[in-house]
Amino acid sequence: MTLREQLRVLVVDDMSTSRGLLTQALDAFGVRNVASVADGPSALKALEISPVHLVISDYNMPKMDGLHLLHALRQNQRTKGVGFILITGRADRAIIEKGKQLGMNNFLKKPFEPLQLKACIEAVVGRL
């Protein structure tokens, strides 16, 4: 079984269009085990029920932004080792530095091409 067949991914984004684009791109790469939620609190609940290998999260979301979600994941014994990719339209230095301090594995600036997403994921989990 290949990595892309085994990989479990959770997409977290408050915009349904963005969730759809990410899910579609992952499907095109052969990653089929993908769940998606609209916000950080929902992500934490989903991960309690069904652990994943990788979280791909938007930065700017209501209730809990991507960095707060990352912090919550790193504080939890069950989720502290989950791969984390932050996607943001505001890739300013402060956000990226804070993400790195919190244990972010990689980031991607919006808008992005599917091949950029694939390279970003592969830098975290290995070749798809």
Predicted confidence at residue 51, as pLDDT, reads 95
pLDDT in tens, the chain (128 residues): 899 999 999 999 999 999 999 999 999 999 999 999 999 999 999 999 999 999 999 999 999 999 999 999 999 999 999 999 999 998 789 999 999 999 999 999 999 999 999 999 999 999 99
Q: Which domain holds residue 86?
A: 3-125
pTM above 0.75, yes or no: yes
When divided into structural domains, the chain yields a total of 1
Nearby residues of 73 by Cβ (< 8 Å), 6 or more positions away: 44, 47, 55, 79, 80, 82, 84
Distance in angstroms (rounded) separating the CA atoms of residues 19 and 12: 7
CATH of the domain at 84: 3.40.50.2300
Chain position carrying tokens 């300013």 = 92
Predicted confidence at residue 49, as pLDDT, reads 94
Identity of the amino acid at 111: P
Predicted confidence at residue 90, as pLDDT, reads 82
